[in-house]
Amino acid sequence: MDMSFVAKNGLVLLGCGKMGSAMLQGWLSDGLPSKSVWVIDPNPSDWLKSTGVQINAALPVKPAIVLIAVKPQMMGDALPAIAAMGNGKTLFVSVAAGTPIAAFEAALGAQSPIVRAMPNTPAAVGRGITAIIGNKHTSAAQIDLAQGLLSAVGQVVRLEDEGQMDAVTGVSGSGPAYVFHMIECMAAAGEVQGLAPELAMQLAKATVAGAGALAEAAEEKPSQLRVNVTSPNGTTQAGLEVLMDETNGLPSLMKSTVKAATDRSKELADG
């Protein structure tokens, strides 16, 4: 990210919950001066107060970036504070789930450069993945700036059109919860087979985290990694025959899960 440009013109963070705090921590670690950051948050945390950023102070007139990180239901109360910055060169980046670009254009001005982003909760440990899409008033340099900003908490991918955001929500936005539930289920299944609860949970957590790290680091596709672990007529094959059953196993269940989350995302966007 071009820290000098942002430092000179200022960055406004609207909302500083878990996601906002994770991003702010990343920016400060990357060298953004704390005095170049203005945070608007009704209940600032002790950590936020310790950072040296400007909290609930008068905002700069034309900041480089305004990052909108409030919950969707708080949007109506939050946007008036930044509406005057619209229709100019200030870039607005939203990480609010379910709020389409058109809603921001209506509130901030149709000529405003706006980037919609969908991060996920592993951003809190710098392992998130965020999908972004800009409106027609967003320049290539501003998209690059948004990508740099969000790279502070993990990977960033660019979408071709905003309609893809619902599917992104269904896969990566909601996806961490699916994986957390898988950990719960694996641990519970281990208990049924005679493991102590704490041991079963430790095994399940480490296995899922380790497999995920291996999947990202390895050159092989996950399908090949699966094959590598599966000995003919062995224990893994026995388990996979249940898990991979096309009718009652994970393939059908995961399609239904992602579809349900995607459909709900569309409903929320339609209001």
- Span 29-53, pLDDT tens digits: 888 999 999 999 989 999 999 999 9
Q: What is the pLDDT of residue 271?
A: 66
**Sequence spans of domains, the chain:** 3-165, 175-269
Q: Tell me, yes or no, if the pTM score tops 0.85.
A: yes
Q: What is the pLDDT of residue 35?
A: 95
Q: Please, are residues 55 and 15 in contact by the beta-carbon 8 Å criterion?
A: no
- Span 123-142, pLDDT tens digits: 988 899 999 999 999 999 99
Fold (CATH) for 175-269 = ProC C-terminal domain-like fold (1.10.3730)
Angle at 170 between CA 164 and CA 173, to 5 degrees: 95
Q: What is the pLDDT of residue 76?
A: 80
The mean of the pLDDT values for the chain is: 93
Question: Count of CB atoms within 10 A of residue 242's CB?
Answer: 10
Amino acid at the residue 258:
V
CA distance 48 to 63: 20
Q: What is the pLDDT of residue 1?
A: 56
CA distance 187 to 205: 8
For domain 3-165, the CATH class is alpha beta
Q: What is the pLDDT of residue 30?
A: 85
Q: What is the pLDDT of residue 4?
A: 81
* Phi-psi region at 109: left, alpha or beta (left = phi > 0; alpha = psi -120 to 50): left
Per-run averaged pLDDT (10 residues), the chain, 271 residues = 79 92 90 94 94 95 93 81 92 90 93 96 92 96 94 95 95 97 98 98 98 97 97 96 96 97 88 66
Q: What is the pLDDT of residue 223?
A: 97
E strand segments, 37-181? 37-40, 54-55, 65-68, 91-94, 114-118, 128-134, 154-158
